[in-house]
Amino acid sequence: MDTGTIIIGLTIFVLACFAGAELIAKVPPTLHTPLMSGSNAISGIAILGALLATGHPESFNSISVIGFLAVILATINVVGGYLVTHRMLQMFKK
Amino acid sequence: MDTGTIIIGLTIFVLACFAGAELIAKVPPTLHTPLMSGSNAISGIAILGALLATGHPESFNSISVIGFLAVILATINVVGGYLVTHRMLQMFKK
Amino acid sequence: MKLAVLKETEEGENRVALIPDSIKRLTQKGFTLLVEAGAGSSAGYSDQEYEQVGATLVSSLQELAAQADCVVKVRPPSLEEAVMLKDSSVLIAILQPTLRHDLVRTLTAKQITAFGLDIIPRTTLAQSMDVLSSMSTIAGYKAVLLAADTINRFFPMLMTAAGTVSPAKVLVLGAGVAGLMACATAKRLGGVVEAFDVRPEVKEQVRSVGAKFIEVPVSEDGSGGGGYAKEMSDEYKEKQAELISRHIAKSDVVIPTALLPGRKAPILISKEQVQSMKPGSVIVDLAAEMGGNCALTQPGQTIVAHGVTIIGHPNLPSTMAFHASQMFSRNVEKFLLYLCDEKGFRMDMNDEITRGSLVTKDGKVFHELTSRLMAGKSQ
Amino acid sequence: MKLAVLKETEEGENRVALIPDSIKRLTQKGFTLLVEAGAGSSAGYSDQEYEQVGATLVSSLQELAAQADCVVKVRPPSLEEAVMLKDSSVLIAILQPTLRHDLVRTLTAKQITAFGLDIIPRTTLAQSMDVLSSMSTIAGYKAVLLAADTINRFFPMLMTAAGTVSPAKVLVLGAGVAGLMACATAKRLGGVVEAFDVRPEVKEQVRSVGAKFIEVPVSEDGSGGGGYAKEMSDEYKEKQAELISRHIAKSDVVIPTALLPGRKAPILISKEQVQSMKPGSVIVDLAAEMGGNCALTQPGQTIVAHGVTIIGHPNLPSTMAFHASQMFSRNVEKFLLYLCDEKGFRMDMNDEITRGSLVTKDGKVFHELTSRLMAGKSQ
Amino acid sequence: MSQHIINLIYLLAATLFMVGIKYLSSPDTAKKGNFLSMIGMAAAIGATLAAPEINGFTLIIGGIFIGTVIGAYAAIKVKMTAMPEMVGLLNGCGGAASALVALAEFHGNSTGFVPFTLLTLLLSLIIGGLTFTGSLMAYAKLQGLIPTRPVTYPGQQIINGLIVLATVALSWLVFQDSTNILTIAGVLVLSLGLGVLAVIPIGGADMPVIICLLNSYSGLAVSMTGFALSNNALIITGSLVGASGIFLTKIMCDAMNRSLANVLFSAFGKVDESATATGEIPAQTMKGGEVEDVATILANAQSLIIVPGYGMAAAQAQHATRELADYLGEHGIEVRYAIHPVAGRMPGHMNVLLAEADVPYEQLFAMDDINDDFAATDVVLVIGANDVVNPAAKTNPASPIYGMPVLDVEKARTVIVLKRSLNVGFAGIDNELFSMDNTMMLFGDARSSLQKILATLKK
Amino acid sequence: MSQHIINLIYLLAATLFMVGIKYLSSPDTAKKGNFLSMIGMAAAIGATLAAPEINGFTLIIGGIFIGTVIGAYAAIKVKMTAMPEMVGLLNGCGGAASALVALAEFHGNSTGFVPFTLLTLLLSLIIGGLTFTGSLMAYAKLQGLIPTRPVTYPGQQIINGLIVLATVALSWLVFQDSTNILTIAGVLVLSLGLGVLAVIPIGGADMPVIICLLNSYSGLAVSMTGFALSNNALIITGSLVGASGIFLTKIMCDAMNRSLANVLFSAFGKVDESATATGEIPAQTMKGGEVEDVATILANAQSLIIVPGYGMAAAQAQHATRELADYLGEHGIEVRYAIHPVAGRMPGHMNVLLAEADVPYEQLFAMDDINDDFAATDVVLVIGANDVVNPAAKTNPASPIYGMPVLDVEKARTVIVLKRSLNVGFAGIDNELFSMDNTMMLFGDARSSLQKILATLKK
Ligand SMILES: NC(=O)c1ccc[n+]([C@@H]2O[C@H](COP(=O)([O-])OP(=O)(O)OC[C@H]3O[C@@H](n4cnc5c(N)ncnc54)[C@H](OP(=O)(O)O)[C@@H]3O)[C@@H](O)[C@H]2O)c1
Ligand SMILES: NC(=O)c1ccc[n+]([C@@H]2O[C@H](COP(=O)([O-])OP(=O)(O)OC[C@H]3O[C@@H](n4cnc5c(N)ncnc54)[C@H](OP(=O)(O)O)[C@@H]3O)[C@@H](O)[C@H]2O)c1
Ligand SMILES: NC(=O)c1ccc[n+]([C@@H]2O[C@H](COP(=O)([O-])OP(=O)(O)OC[C@H]3O[C@@H](n4cnc5c(N)ncnc54)[C@H](O)[C@@H]3O)[C@@H](O)[C@H]2O)c1
Ligand SMILES: NC(=O)c1ccc[n+]([C@@H]2O[C@H](COP(=O)([O-])OP(=O)(O)OC[C@H]3O[C@@H](n4cnc5c(N)ncnc54)[C@H](O)[C@@H]3O)[C@@H](O)[C@H]2O)c1
């Protein structure tokens, strides 16, 4: 990994932090829990890393076991997260 | 310029657009003009391009003339923009 | 210029035309003030107070009248008083010229310049001199207090451990100054207040004091062709009368206030309508002095007819003589300062207020309705 | 059980103990109701209305008293009336037992079970039966109306073309139910209202109706050592008295309402304090019936002393007989339903309300203060 | 699929996540936001699966299947009241996944990393591990599996400090030799321990904040993984979640009137006093309402009955009351007032004040006329009343007010009580209404509470 | 300086710009924001100057010197009232600079570009050029150098359409051969023309919005330049300005009650009717105030006198009046009421209503007691009064109310009048107060205006 890539990564990191912080600035308290839950589901994006770790080798080895576990956990996070968020939002009428 | 760079550029573009739009969402009307003026000063960042265009060649040629003009105009934008903004903000007490 | 303040002689009149406060300011402006002894006492202003601000106390009316260039009074002078006034002097008072032709004749005979406080034009500019406005304010307020004090029930709604007391329904007929003040006061006391007036523009004003304006709901066919307008209007009036009858029957307190300038008050409440009211209800007739808006009103008396108490007090402002005199005095002061300075009267006959309030001058009657009426009578 | 409603005989008493509305409900519950003819007429409830709801009209008191198991009344019965009551029957009325020893003696002699509406314990639970509360509400309201109607000035502030009218200053002494209601009503009318009470906890209540509580500004040294507390307290009381004097002198209307249960009212306004007031001011003494809170009060009369009108009306609720009777009746109804059903009285002597309101029973006096006072007298 | 296209899809996914979060912050659009965010996730996963690096699908499909089943089951079965702990658990899974990915990366690479990559991998490992156990602890505390109260013991701070030091030291060793799986495992173990120890001294009432904070951490972990894998999707999304999470944490702290520093600090061992105090208030029995929650409840009601009491008078809150009622009325909510006969301190006290504030008589109802309507009412707003809404008058024969008719407010769907404290009223008796399930207390002077509610509604 | 460090500094600069913009959106931090943004700019320029590509400094220093002198002079000399047009002018310079940079890039490269770079360069050229002339037009309109009213002529839309088509066609030619400087110049000329024609049909009153939009465009141009030069600083900053500018444009349109589409559309030739109407209201003579502006004025006042009139009564706005006064009082502003003796329709009308709304008597002042104080008062709020504040009573002997004492409201620093229209009052005469320099009209029902002001203040 070269320094240029790191700097670009940092640039993206800073911008995304700004966007993330600003996006959330006006959320009402009743939405705190759904929002937390929704962004928790998003953080299940770690699944991409898990997929890459698991899909890499053709053979079955300790890495793929770790990756497999990671896929399971990340999937739970993603699927559970979105569903839970959805259920909470169901409760809001109007 | 390769496609990877373009995509990274686009990524940055999108993130910055989000950040820009969200940053401004809560501005009160009295600050419309200073804000416009302040962001206008920032857009004077075009001066970087002008500098790069002017500083390139050692010799004096038509490009450097164009660049020179660009530097002047961009500097006017930057300096004038910040000063004007500052003067407007001076008017706010408290 | 010598101004004289007379003591009121009419029965039940407690007010005084100028209070010490005004006299102080007039004296400072250079006027000389003579005050009949005891003039302010029934309104709560002692002779001492008058002397302190520089007025000269004079004990006899005769003496006073002989000296004064201008005499101010609240009520119209009696004929005897009028006779005593100095010839060609100025008189300022409520004069009721359309009713008191004898008085007007006496004044013309004595070449007196008489201004009627009750006929000052009701313009924005003249409002500070307008005693009708200020006295109507008092009458409207006091009418409600009288009603509340007379009726055997609460004005406000109360939900208590001893049950719920329903609010009194108050109906005000005629929403001029007195009517609006009555509405506002009854509203303050917690009554449910409705008002009606023939002038449609007061609807907004009635609402502005928190009362409801009674109006006939205009049916859609009302907006039909022009030819039917007249016919509609009659039907409309009928509906209106009926509507008001219904509201009278429902009301606990009715306060009619309709006056017609210079004439007998219109009858707004018939005997039948009184009968339709609940026993114990109260009518305070603010038009009592001009004959009353209620057919059964006995001016000057409180009677009970068909279980309804009808109060015909002719002079409510006088019952609040302290503030009534203060306001009256302020009006008179503004009027005086408008008409004259310490040297004398300007008599600018092009001025709307001067011309409008002038009743007699140089032996002539200037008030048109009066002269028309007097001419009519002598025919 | 047969309940009888008597017509009031006391001078100036217009109320009736039960109105048709209550009678209707009681009849539905199985009570038999006898009503003396004309009992409700002065309160605005006709005999017809009573008959319509199922009451039996009885024209003579004697006949009525002979039949009834329980007699209800507003005011204490006169001795003649008491004698007519059936032996061992029940009487419910305002009894004032601490004052009317003769009456109490008559009742014990006749073995009558007498409940005093005026001595019901003032708990949250008993509030729906508490005639003192409901009648105080009326008295407080009416006192202000009387004052406003009597005084020669406005209550509200008005800024008009005829000058600015300053608001009336109203001082309420004693902030119980009547006092609070007086504060609220005067405030509604636009007065500037202040109140004082010896109980410090009512400060918040006074403020809650928009009035100002008068209090001695506590100086910092007040929080000194415990030993000085008593001394401070005397000095404090003096300061307080002086403060109240100053406020009385400034006030246009003073409404004292302080009562001591079962005893003569305390004097809160001395002759000197009356003299310090402006001529034209008004005092409405709500304690008039118990001797008055003002030294000059003549119970039952309106007098003018040192230019101050002092109203000593002994029975303001009676002037609003319609609503007063409605509330009284509701209280009596709740009280009856609490004490008995259509078969008879429960007489649960462990019950606070039953025990607390019982004056005589089986020839014995149950009200302690009364028996103490009667014993004291007979010693 | 070419890497460029995959990256473009990642950009699209990130955009969808941002729009999703934006939408999630308003009740009107929240559902749509969640949906958009799902689409983004699906797109990102799909693109990754199409990446050239991925050749074996058996494990992936198996893993996704198992994860889906578990996740969906848990999400569907969980009770609405257990949502916060559920989120905590899910978040723990995310953290664990990050840590595992880092571990796999360490494991699969025997040639060593450039320092930056190593740093990010380590951070990913530590933060992921800490998030995992921390979330589990939060879950256990909220479920009552371990004591909810702050657990403290002597020397706690020293022990925590030592563990942090040990983690740093081991990490340094990893920097020296990134192939030694033992040191790496050591770091992981220490970070797992750190998660436990960080959460244990925090009271159960603070757990939602902790979960939110840990959510932010897991975002951070993801973004570190992204740096390590040079994957922009992970960087963007991770930092998005990290930043929004930390911000949300701050907002939640503000709403609890505590500083973020306070929470962060107590999260590292110091026994924070206010946390203890919070732990002692029986949070289960008394629902203290936030102004915003009250406002939301009112805004979503169809019918409202206002019950004024002496406290409204004492606070002179009649005008504020009418203003709120007017506002709600204008927004289509049916507003009525229930006047108890003895409310206040004089007969008609409430009437006088409400009339002064211009409340129309038509909206006032005496107790007898409205008592049956409470059961069909969405929300009752009790403003400084106490005795007149005390159910003891109906249920407790020993109560001094037993037998007095009272307003049946507790029959309404939700009761909101505005009061300054839990103090008694005139009759001096406790009121169990305040601890009922459907009651929400908003403490504070009635006038200012009403003004705050209105201001919040108008926002 | 290494390119990496330069890029890091660029990132820092971009961060400072973002923080700067964030701070600019609140009055309390705006100055700091501008300052931070300046630092960012200085850092970015410094870093660029240290870049290896830059070897010759003469022209650069000369250019910066000249630009600084002109920019500073213009910024210092410009009158406060001419600020919007000044911003327009400066923005035009920025646009021109972008276009020139693109031109230089075209000019300096004889080998051709990849299509993406070519596209971004062309866009930079077109948008920059359009921004330049558009801004000049806006400046000229605001300065009154050309007619402020919308200029229209037959076939305008067709002509504009043709020019757009021509621009596209020429651009296509550039794509074929990017070394032909003639076609490139043609594109530039056409885009300059487009700028003129796009702004000419828009009324002067809309110019601030147009300037804001053009500002957004110039950001876009910068960001295109950034793509062309692969310069992330330009991309970030340009898109930041572009996005915030378009958003601000929308906010400004909302404040004017017009849609962005409406402005964008009329900007391309169609004569928009509401624009015409706006142009016809004598904006110079009657300052229509926005609720927000009124709120800001009130919030910044030290002393306020409220003058109620019949309109307050008719609107039943007494409660709303007191609420506003209470709020301002609580925030340290001295509030008094000036009651004219004949205000309203009956003697004491104002008193009755204000007392009902619980306004303390101490705050009410009769005309004579307060008339001298207006001159030393920051703000007068006239609520539905007309005749009683009509200066004609003092100045115009021909007026029917000449001689009546009136409230000297016009002596205060600022007068805000709440009314529904310019209609006359009871006396039926016009009121020149409404068109005085220090008067701001807020049209609408008094009650709802007051409520809006209060809601805005509370935000
Ligand atoms: N109506 C009458 O004629 C009358 C006369 C005398 C007595 N009473 C008695 O008074 C009681 C009336 O019942 P109620 O429910 O109206 O009143 P309550 O039972 O006395 O309760 C009033 C409540 O208001 C709260 N409060 C006080 N000031 C407040 C403020 N500024 N802001 C918010 N809350 C405030 C107090 O709680 P916090 O301290 O926690 O805030 C208190 O618990 C009954 O017991 C009745 O018998 C009535
Ligand atoms: N005080 C008295 O006793 C009395 C009695 C009778 C007559 N008058 C006369 O009445 C006048 C009083 O002066 P003033 O300044 O109080 O009133 P005014 O001159 O009559 O003006 C009132 C203004 O209020 C505005 N308005 C009406 N409804 C409104 C609403 N809902 N919201 C906002 N504004 C509203 C009207 O303008 P828009 O239509 O543009 O909104 C009108 O111009 C004097 O001329 C006086 O002589 C007084
Ligand atoms: N310019 C000023 O500043 C000023 C000052 C005071 C009064 N005024 C105006 O003068 C007018 C009269 O005031 P006023 O109080 O002396 O009036 P008034 O006492 O002469 O009459 C009272 C009201 O009764 C109404 N009325 C008459 N006949 C009626 C009927 N048959 N049924 C119902 N209502 C009837 C009238 O319309 C009037 O509103 C009002 O319009 C008032 O606004 C103006
Ligand atoms: N529990 C209930 O629901 C209920 C119902 C009604 C009344 N009460 C309570 O009963 C109490 C008495 O009410 P009330 O109106 O019948 O009182 P009251 O008529 O007996 O006395 C009126 C007031 O005068 C005050 N007072 C006495 N001496 C005074 C003096 N020297 N100077 C100044 N003030 C003096 C008293 O403190 C009292 O507040 C009040 O506290 C009231 O709240 C309770």
What are the pLDDT digits (tens) for E192-222? Answer: 999 998 888 887 767 878 888 898 999 999 9
What's the average model confidence in pLDDT over E263-288?
41
Q: Mean pLDDT lowest for which of E394-398, F100-104, F384-388?
A: E394-398
More confident: E426 or E35? E35
Index of the ligand 2 atom closest to the CA of residue F421: 40
Indicate if the pLDDT at residue F273 is higher than 60: no
Q: Is the CB of F357 inside 8 Å of chain C's CB atoms?
A: no
User: What is the C-alpha to C-alpha distance for residues F259 and F239, in angstroms, rounded to an integer?
Assistant: 23
- Give residue F7's pLDDT: 86
Q: Domain check: are D110 and D170 in the same one?
A: no
Q: How confident is the model at residue C228 (pLDDT cuts 50, 70, 90)?
A: very low
Tokens representing D367 are 């009200």
Residue nearest to atom 29 of ligand 4 (CA): D258
Give the chain E residue nearest A54 (alpha carbons): E60
Instruction: Say whether pLDDT at E383 is over 70.
Output: yes
E350 min Cα distance to partner chain D (Å): 10
Round to whole Å and give the CA distance between F449 and F288. 13
Give yes or no: residues C230 and C108 share one domain: no
Q: What type of residue is C135?
A: M
Question: Kind and range of the H or E element at D48?
Answer: helix D47-52
Compute CA A44 distance to the chain's CA centroid, rounded to the nearest angstrom. Answer: 3
In whole numbers, what is the pLDDT of chain E averaged over residues? 84
Centre a 10 Å sphere on the Cβ of residue B20 and count the other Cβ atoms it contains.
Answer: 32
For chain D, what is the domain count?
A: 2
Q: Phi/psi of residue F420, each to 5°?
A: -85, -25
Q: In chain D, how long is the greatest CA-to-CA distance?
A: 71
Catalytic positions of E are: 387
**CA–CA dist F360, F380 (Å, integer):** 19
Phi–psi pair at E167, nearest 5 degrees: -60, -45
Q: What would the mean pLDDT of F158-172 be, rounded to a whole number?
A: 89
Residues C198, C140, single domain; the answer is yes
Across the interface, of E358, E458, E459, the residue whose CB is closest to F319 is E358
Tell me which ligand sits closest to the C-alpha of residue F349.
2
Tell me, what's the pLDDT at A56? 67
- Mean pLDDT, residues C164-169 taken together: 90
Q: Are strands D344-345 and D358-361 parallel, antiparallel or unpaired?
A: unpaired
C123 contact residues in F (CB cutoff 8 A): 400, 427
d(CA E152, CA D36): 81
Closest ligand to C-alpha of residue C179 is 3
Residue D334 belongs to some domain of the structure: yes
Return d(Cα D4, Cα D64) in angstroms, integer: 7
CATH of the domain at D231: 3.40.50.720
Give contacts of F247 with chain B, Cβ < 8 Å.
20-21, 24-25
Query: Do C308 and C352 lie in a common domain?
Result: no
Cα(first)–Cα(last) distance of chain E, in Å?
Answer: 47
Q: What is the structure's pLDDT at E286?
A: 45
CA distances from B42 to B39, B78, B81, C193, F20 (A): 5, 7, 8, 64, 10
Is residue F158's pLDDT more than 50? yes
Residue numbers in B near F22 (CB within 8 A): 23
Which of left, alpha, beta for E373 (phi over 0: left; psi -120 to 50: alpha)?
Answer: alpha
Per-residue pLDDT reduced to its tens digit, E144-202: 788 777 777 777 778 888 999 999 999 998 888 878 888 889 999 999 999 998 888 88
Query: Which residue ranges of chain D lie beneath pLDDT 50?
Result: 220-232, 379
Q: Which two tokens stand for residue F208?
A: 């601030």
Segment holding D358, helix H or strand E: strand D358-361
**What is the predicted pLDDT for the residue at A30?**
64
The band of C254, judged by pLDDT with boundaries at 50, 70 and 90, is: very high
* Domain boundaries of chain F, sorted by first residue: 78-265, 287-458
The answer, yes or no, to whether residue C170 has pLDDT greater than 90, is: yes
CATH number, span E287-458: 3.40.50.1220
pLDDT at C51: 94
Which residues contact residue F313 at a Cβ distance below 8 angstroms, ignoring those fewer than 6 apart? C205, C208, C209, F344, F345, F349, F350, F353, F384
Contact assignment for F347 to C137 by CB distance below 8 Å: yes
At F359-408, the pLDDT tens digits run 888 898 888 889 999 988 889 999 999 999 999 888 888 888 888 889 99
- The answer to whether residue C25 scores a pLDDT higher than 90 is yes
The answer to whether the CB atoms of E346 and D210 lie below 8 A apart is: no
Mark whether D165 and D29 lie in a shared domain: no
Give φ, ψ of C160 to 5 degrees: -125, 175
Task: Please count the other Cβ atoms lying within 10 Å of the Cβ belonging to residue B21.
Answer: 23
- pLDDT tens-digit readout, F240-251: 888 888 888 887
Write out the residue range of the structural domain in which residue C93 sits: 2-119+320-374
The answer to whether C323 contacts D154, with C-beta atoms less than 8 Å apart, is yes
Place of tokens 């507390």: D229
Given C265, C298, C314, the domain boundary residue is C314
Measured between its terminal Cα atoms, the distance across chain A in Å is 50
3-class SS at D341? strand
Residues with CB under 6 A from ligand 1: D 124, 127, 133; E 309-311, 314-315, 342-347, 349, 384-388, 418-421, 423, 425-427, 445-446
Helix (H) or strand (E) holding E414: strand E414-419
Same domain, D164 and D258: yes
Give the DSSP H or E segment for C92: strand C90-93
Percent of chain F whose pLDDT exceeds 70: 91
Ligand 3, pocket-test mutation among C173, C257, C263, most atoms within 8 A of CB:
C257
Domain end among C314, C333, C348: C314
CA of D289 to the centre of ligand 4 (A): 16
**Residues C310, C324: one domain?**
no
Q: Does the annotation count C118 as an active-site position?
A: no
- Out of C52, C62, C127, C233, which one is annotated catalytic? C127
pLDDT band at E289 (very low <50, low <70, confident <90, very high): low
Q: Which residue has the higher pLDDT, E333 or B10?
A: E333
User: Within a domain: residue C81?
Assistant: yes
In the predicted structure, residue F170 carries a pLDDT above the cut 70: yes
Q: Output the average pLDDT for chain C.
A: 90
Give the distance (Å) from ligand 1 centre to CA of residue D201.
Answer: 13
- Find chains touching chain B: ≥3 CB pairs under 8 Å: A, E, F
**Distance (Å, rounded) from C-alpha F221 to C-alpha B21?**
17
Check C130, C197, C252, C285 and give the catalytic one. C130
Q: What local confidence, expressed as pLDDT, does residue B58 receive?
A: 59
pLDDT digits (tens, 9 = 90+) for C308-355: 999 999 999 999 999 999 999 999 999 999 999 888 898 888 888 999
Query: Which chain A residues touch B23 with a CB distance below 8 Å?
Result: 18, 22
Name the minimum distance, in Å, from the CA of B63 to any CA of chain E: 35
Whether residue E390 contacts residue E401, with contact meaning beta carbons closer than 8 Å, is answered with: yes
pLDDT given at position E426: 84
Is the CB–ligand 4 distance for residue D173 below 6 Å?
A: yes
| The last residue of a domain, from among D268, D291, D314 | D314
DSSP string, F223-243: HHHHHHHT-HHHHHHHHHHHH
- Span of A30-34, A78-82, C177-181, F130-134 with lowest mean pLDDT: A30-34
- The DSSP letter of residue D371 is H
Pairwise CA distance, residues B78 & B71, whole Å: 10
- Which residues are within 8 A (CB) of F237 and not within 5 positions of it... i.e. 6 or more apart? B16, B42, B43, B45, F13, F14, F17, F219, F222, F223, F226
| The pLDDT value given to residue F146 | 83
On whether both D180 and D289 belong to a single domain, the answer is yes
Tens digits of residue pLDDT in C356-368: 999 999 999 999 9
Give the contacts of F140 (CB within 8 A, at least 6 positions apart).
F146
Does residue D146 sit in the same domain as residue D253?
Answer: yes
